[in-house]
Amino acid sequence: MELFIISGAACLPHPSKKAYISKPVPQKDTAPGLAYFHIPLPEYATFDSSNMSGVKQEPDGNGISSPSVNSGFFTTLLAAGDVKAVFTGHDHINDFCGNLMNIQLCYGGGFGYHAYGKAGWPRRARVVVASLEKTGKGSWGDVKSIKTWKRLDDQHLTGIDDEVLWSKSTGGKISFDTCSPILVLNKAMLKMNM
């Protein structure tokens, strides 16, 4: 596989910015799917403090700025069978994750300083990590787990709300109790994932 780093208005790869990456080994099982888009689905409104990690703070309506008409896209994701997590933005002061029918619905958290926020609430960005199994030959294998946390823009770049979104060892089924925030984060992990 070739990777080109695109720069400039012409969007043409420059030969000096070409990098080579080894061809990935095919996944034995269906790889867990992750979806990223901007506007949250109406299903995000089903969460409250009893069944989510993070916060829902948007002042309008039910705390979610989703379309007023449900397009059925969540049902499509569910029917696909491989989507394990969805990540959206749009609502800058929501940063929660909740499990609906074994699909994690998560907000990215408001991280830019170019848009609205909330006084006293540090800007934050969601980090998503897919861990791979190692094969007996030392190469990389199937996806083992998908984890997430949020990194705050404070003096310590604090990590909060560490949770497992999907794990192969549980057959991909994660209860909300399993996804509750872990109170203590490994400091080495925080430094490594900056």
Task: Give me the sheet containing 140-152, strands edge to edge.
Answer: 124-134, 140-152, 159-167
Alpha-carbon torsion, ordered 80, 81, 83, 88, to 10 deg: 60
Under the banding of pLDDT at 50, 70 and 90, the label for residue 128 is: very high
Lowest mean pLDDT of 10-24, 27-41, 84-98, 124-138, name the range: 10-24
d(CA 162, CA 184): 9
pLDDT computed for residue 73 by the predictor: 94
pLDDT computed for residue 87 by the predictor: 96
Per-residue pLDDT tens over the stretch 71-127: 999 999 999 999 999 999 998 889 999 999 999 999 998 887 777 888 888 899 999
Give phi and psi for 123, each to the nearest 5: -60, 155
